[in-house]
Amino acid sequence: MSQPGLPANLSARPPPHLYFHPPRDSTDPPRRESSETERVIQPSNAAKASLSAAEPSTRGRTRRKERRRRGARTQWKKLLWVRQSLPDNYTDASTFLDHLVRNPKLQPYEFWRLVADSTVIVQHVCSVAIFVCCFTGIFQERISPITVVSWGSACTVIGWITWEVWVDNHEEMNNRRLGSQASSEDDLPSGDSFTKETSSASGTQTPHAEVMGDFHDDFHPPPEQWQGDPLSNLSPRNQQRLITIKSAALIYCAVLGLSPILKSLTKSTTSDSIWAISCWLMFINVFFFDYGGGVGAKFPASLSTNASLMASTVLASRLTSTTHVFSLTLFSIQVFGLFPVFRRHLLHISRTLHYILTFCLVLGAGGGVAVTVGGGSWTFLLLGCTLGLITAALTMGGASWWLIGLQKWKDEIVGPWDAARPRLRRRWA
């Protein structure tokens, strides 16, 4: 009997063999066959076709949303004070390396420029070698200490005269510039324009003028210092020359008075210890010397200068007489105290004279080492000068090529991930 309210085909129960499907394997439970109601509820082929036709439009909307999302991400800015839809620690992978910079401050080396700059090192090393050769000659009594100090004093006087010529030329240039400014003062419409022109003219100076400006500052103290001086009738230049002569005489007398004390300074120390200490002090002088002294750099008592003077003091204490000690100590002051200042200013005034001085120092160092090692013959002197020139040329050229080759390994990476560097004002108004 069919139940009321149900279709005739749904009133009868299906047979058991049609109610369950056999399992697919031993672990799969029996599955019930779909009933007529379920068949009615399942979508037909037409409905499936309509659904499949509607899927592309849904996918298109999803793609458009993703594009909008990507567009919002590309517009992300690294600003914390701007409200954005992304977290503060977000990193945009597409634009992360856009601001990457490699070696921003790299300046390729030039071979001849490196060779020219290395002459400063060659000059100082040759000066140390010449001093050591002079000490060896005095210690072995091959050369008179009076001869050594006389040649050193003569070179010092020549350098001082050259210094005075530089200062005179600088003063003459300043007088000409001031005269030209005074002559053009009448042509200016107002005092403000003259002030601007004067400030611009004084701001554009050559390196030579800057160097000579240091000379002018060193040699010409302020006028207030000369008030009340009994020698005020002399010109400032003559007064400064007189002060220089007084300082030289004071150093001469001080070294002469300390020579007996220095002679017995290391009397209880063995010679081996003195040689070792002096070698280490000379190495400190060479490695800590200021090879990059600028135009306005000063030369105070530094580690390099103190080490060289200490080395000369302990070496002088091994000599036999007070005259030997006095000569070597005074010669060391000239070599390690005054000569570096002269070389530094000569470099900024005339490159040609700087190269000539380098050539002479290489010849002197090579010849001195050859004579000290081999003897006092002219053959060893010429051989030493030749080998010194060849060694200096190969060293400067090889070191320059080596530095140029090292630049290809320089890899400095700068990007937005680096910490910000504060800009500090050095001069406050």
Query: What gap in Å lies between CA 5 and CA 367, rounded to an integer?
Result: 131
Retrieve residue 160's tokens. 């001082």
pLDDT of 232: 61
Retrieve residue 293's tokens. 């002294």
pLDDT band at 68 (very low <50, low <70, confident <90, very high): low
Retrieve residue 328's tokens. 């070597």
pLDDT band at 367 (very low <50, low <70, confident <90, very high): very high
Query: Quick count: other Cβ atoms within 10 Å of Cβ 168?
Result: 13
CB-neighbour burial class of residue 139 (10 A; exposed 0-12, middle 13-18, buried 19+): middle
- Domain spans in the chain, listed from the N-terminal domain onward: 115-181+207-408
pLDDT of 145: 92
Q: Is 415 helix (H, G, I), strand (E, B) or coil?
A: coil
DSSP 419: P
Nearest C-alpha neighbor of 363 from the set 339, 385, 332: 385
The amino acid that residue 353 corresponds to is L
Retrieve residue 134's tokens. 């002079």
Which DSSP helix (H) or strand (E) runs through 418? none
Query: What gap in Å lies between CA 361 and CA 123, rounded to an integer?
Result: 6
Using a CB cutoff of 8 Å and minimum separation of 24, what contacts does 358-361 make?
A: 358/119, 358/122, 358/123, 358/126, 361/122, 361/123, 361/126, 361/127, 361/130
Higher-pLDDT residue of 329, 170: 329
Nearest C-alpha neighbor of 174 from the set 143, 205, 146, 150: 205
**Range picked from 290-294, 372-376, 406-410, 412-416 for highest mean pLDDT:** 406-410
Query: What gap in Å lies between CA 388 and CA 359, rounded to an integer?
Result: 10
The whole-angstrom distance between residue 332's C-alpha and the CA centroid of its chain comes to 30
Retrieve residue 232's tokens. 């005020």
Query: What gap in Å lies between CA 350 and CA 344, rounded to an integer?
Result: 11
Is a pLDDT exceeding 70 seen at residue 384? yes
Query: What gap in Å lies between CA 331 and CA 153, rounded to an integer?
Result: 8
Q: What average pLDDT does range 154-162 have in this prediction? A: 91
Give first-to-last CA distance, the chain, whole Å. 112
Q: Is 290 helix (H, G, I), strand (E, B) or coil?
A: coil
Is a pLDDT exceeding 50 seen at residue 58? yes
Record the pTM. Answer: 0.67
Nearest C-alpha neighbor of 332 from the set 317, 347, 345, 346: 317
Query: Quick count: other Cβ atoms within 10 Å of Cβ 153?
Result: 15
Tens digit of pLDDT for each residue in 238-247? 888 888 899 9
Least confident of 140-154, 199-213, 264-278: 199-213
Is a pLDDT exceeding 90 seen at residue 55? no
Nearest C-alpha neighbor of 184 from the set 196, 171, 168, 170: 196
User: How long a stretch of residues is the chain?
Assistant: 429
Is a pLDDT exceeding 60 seen at residue 350? yes
